[in-house]
Amino acid sequence: MSVRLEYDLSAINRLNQRIARLADLDRRGLMQTIGAVVESQTRRRLANEKRSPDGTPWAAWSEQYAGFRHGGHSLLEGDGNLIDSLTHEVSADSVEIGSNLIYARIHQDGSGDEPVNVPAHQRRITKAFGRDLPSPVWANVKAYAFNQNIPARPYLGLSEDNQAELEDVIEDFLMEVLK
């Protein structure tokens, strides 16, 4: 009488092959996918949600500033320059999302109470008292300082829903690699 044991190790071999695919994972491709998704989430926040990633509604315009805006403008959207400027930069292991507009940081962090110093300069004036001038006039402007007092309206970052969407995207990406 004898006992014979047989092991089918093919499942372990398939698992080893899948693990080997993870070692060769195109992380740059994953970062590109993540960057595109977060950029899209940020555009949606600017255009539709009008709130910080933590869910806090953005502060309304001051009454004085609201007087300069027209009906087609909304918080942080204006003519669409901020939304259009959003981009992402990818490296092998990271992705950065942001804008290169000079005022993008002020919208994200606010201006605080520190005065803005404007150096002396010349300004080209094309209108006076609401009317077009026949030809432009140059005026000398003395140096001055003013407080912007712009409240922070964070638009960059991940909400809980954004994080859940990213987890799904990453899981789908990994499942595709592991097929």
Question: Mean pLDDT lowest for which of 68-72, 96-100, 107-111?
Answer: 68-72
Mean pLDDT of 124-150: 91
pLDDT at 45: 93
Cross-strand partners of 89: 96
Question: Mean pLDDT lowest for which of 6-10, 50-54, 146-150?
Answer: 6-10
Question: Mean pLDDT lowest for which of 7-11, 67-71, 124-128?
Answer: 67-71
- pLDDT-derived band at 27, boundaries 50, 70, 90: confident
Mean pLDDT of 64-91: 78
Residue 3 has pLDDT above 90, yes or no: no
What share of the chain has pLDDT > 90, as a percent? 48
pLDDT at 70: 65
Question: Mean pLDDT lowest for which of 18-27, 64-73, 88-97?
Answer: 64-73
Residue 136 has pLDDT above 90, yes or no: yes
Q: What is the mean pLDDT of the chain?
A: 86
Q: Where are the domains of the chain?
A: 10-111+151-177
Residues 39-76 pLDDT 10s: 999 999 998 898 999 999 988 877 777 677 666 667 67
Residue 145 has pLDDT above 70, yes or no: yes
pLDDT at 172: 92
